[in-house]
Amino acid sequence: MGIVDRTVKPSFAKSLFLGQVASELVMPYPNFTPEEAGRVAAATTSAREYLAESYDPWEAEREGWVGDRVIRELGERGLTGLFIDEQYGGLGLSQTGYCRVMEEFGRVDAALSVVMGVHQSIGSKPLFLYGTDDQKARWLPDLAAGRKLAAFVLTEPNVGSDAFHLETWAERQSDGSWLLNGEKRWIGNGDRDVLTVFAQSDLGHVALIVEKGMDGLSTGPRFETLGLKANHLQRVHFKNVRVPAENLLGEPGDGFRIAMNTLNNGRMSMGTAISGGMKQFLQLSIEHTTTRQQFGRPLIDFELVEDKLAWMNTQIYGLESTSYLTTGLVDRGVADFALESAMTKVRASDTGWYALNRAVQVHGGEAYMADHPLSKALRDFRIFPIFEGSNDVMRAYVALNGLKALSEDLPDVASLKISDPAKSLGIIGPYIAGRMSRALRPEKLLGAHAAVAKQATAVSEQTGRLRDRAEAALRKHGKNVQEKQLVQKRLSEAASGIYSQVAVISRISAALSRDGVAASADEKTVAINFCKSAEREVGRQLRALEINDDRHTRMIGASVRKSAGYSFSL
């Protein structure tokens, strides 16, 4: 094992597992240039005006599609090509600018945000990131203008979270073309125009552009879903579809990397679209609780109602801060943002679901009626913890990548053997010394405003404890840590909680410096409240790595498996 170059920081999230706080990646909080701020403001205003005047979510649900007219008119406003370069007819927005506009779609209709996200975040994005100049010139103008829609074609009947083991097969022909066979399912926009299809081949994974109307390509029947009914979710079949050589993205063998990098980009807009939805839930809740009276008082006067509204407001602030810190990493040219993207997706989809349930609760029976927007949202939002990487898989992904980074910093871990006590003592000694050193001198988050110095210090201490627990897990389980999913979940949740606090500290520090302490008092209260809550949750997760009921959980799980259900009688 060579000497680790300490001057080269890994991703911010990976650095946390090493007990390091890469302040230069997250401070100061990212912001638009004045020029882009104007362009983003124009795009968000255009989206907001159009959606308020010309889009009806209920009509789209009844029709089972957001509407070709809607797509066309959004395209005329440039809203279907937000990040595509202006030379191809797009608006050329940054990742942050793109996600800011996606928030407007999420505020109005989750189904429309998904259609737009599939088309842009993952459908057009592979071409944007990996296409040649000729490929971009061929397809991006129509996609940017909304004349065509794009799809990301990965999931198969037997392939979901394990996306590496695709069964769809592409055979290279003597003329360089590809013969494609297989079946995909749950494909948004799968019956539309430009499909980026991922398949196995003798040369490794490939990404192929398949166009509507190609011989051997068929779709359907359409899936009937619980929610998102205005989104076409399709089966896609390939029977000897001949794909021209010039439709290959990247090189043979690049397909899996293209798919994963595209998803890493795409997950960010889900976070901002969900935060847009949460803002609408809060708005509806405030309107209802201020006008609805019980016991001679408006509902908002009651503490348990106020508690829910305060929680929603605080969580929106935390999610928004985390989402746009993550997009800012991309815009600053940080190459490794996969863990931050995964964390944002998990936190957004979980928090959005909890916020929606609180909004339903304060509305009471009214929200349970089928024609209420929160009733529709309940059906629409439930998919978010599942697709674009299920949350359990994303948690494992975060933890295992963080542990891998740490293991590379600990070349002695692999040699730790319980059967060799003397050797074990020699290895555990440096671990104990390192733990004491981190406790006495935790690495600091630099650049935080003095008004949130206490929160910055807490983040530093939590980061040191995360490193200690992660190292302890590696030394205890070795390679078997890959099977310890409860360990992975707790480490991932702790790291995510720290990252979200850093995002909030970075954001409020910028506001305090810009506007002053007095003018930022309300925002500071929200920020500190969020950090305190997140710190408590991080503490619970880290303590649970040492004190837990996992043994009983495994025993009960084994009993349930053996009995194939509930086995106790009165």
How much is the pLDDT for 393?
94
In the sheet that 206-211 helps form, which strands lie side by side, from edge to edge?
Answer: 150-153, 194-199, 206-211, 248-249
Beta bridge pairs of residue 219:
236
Domain 152-253: CATH superfamily, name plus number: Butyryl-CoA Dehydrogenase, subunit A, domain 2 (2.40.110.10)
Residues 6+ apart with CB under 8 A from 470: 17, 402, 403, 406, 491
Cα distance between residue 53 and residue 49, in whole Å:
6
Domain 12-17+417-547 has CATH 1.20.140.10: yes
Cα distance between residue 212 and residue 342, in whole Å:
32
How many residues are recorded in the chain?
Answer: 570
- Banded pLDDT at 417 (limits 50, 70, 90): very low
Lowest mean pLDDT among 421-435, 516-530, 556-570: 421-435
- For 248, the token pair is 């290959």
Task: Quick: pLDDT tens for 23-54.
Answer: 999 999 999 999 999 999 999 999 999 999 99
Task: Quick: pLDDT tens for 304-356.
Answer: 999 999 999 999 999 999 999 999 999 999 999 999 999 999 999 999 999 99
Concatenate the DSSP letters of all residues of 112-144 into one string.
HHHHHHIIIIIIIHHHHHH--HHHHHHHHHHHH
* Cα-Cα end-to-end distance for the chain: 61
- What fold does the segment set 34-149 form as a domain? Butyryl-Coa Dehydrogenase, subunit A; domain 1 (1.10.540)
327, 263, 261, 267: which is closest to 100 by C-alpha? 327
Longest Cα–Cα distance of the chain, Å, equals 81
Q: Are 100 and 107 in contact (CB under 8 A)?
A: no
131, 207, 212, 116: which is closest to 170 by C-alpha? 207
User: Do the first three CATH levels of 12-17+417-547 and 34-149 match, i.e. the same topology?
Assistant: no
Cα distance between residue 455 and residue 445, in whole Å:
10
Identity of the amino acid at 311: W
- For 220, the token pair is 């359907």
Query: Which residue among 103, 104, 340, 388 is the active-site one?
Result: 388
Task: Quick: pLDDT tens for 262-299.
Answer: 999 889 999 999 999 999 999 999 999 999 999 999 99
Residues 6+ apart with CB under 8 A from 397: 338, 339, 342, 389
> Is 388 a residue of the active site?
yes
Domain 257-391: CATH superfamily, name plus number: Butyryl-CoA Dehydrogenase, subunit A, domain 3 (1.20.140.10)
Return the domain boundaries, the chain.
12-17+417-547, 34-149, 152-253, 257-391
Beta bridge pairs of residue 209:
196
Task: Quick: pLDDT tens for 182-223.
Answer: 999 999 999 999 999 999 999 999 999 999 999 999 999 999
How much is the pLDDT for 8?
43
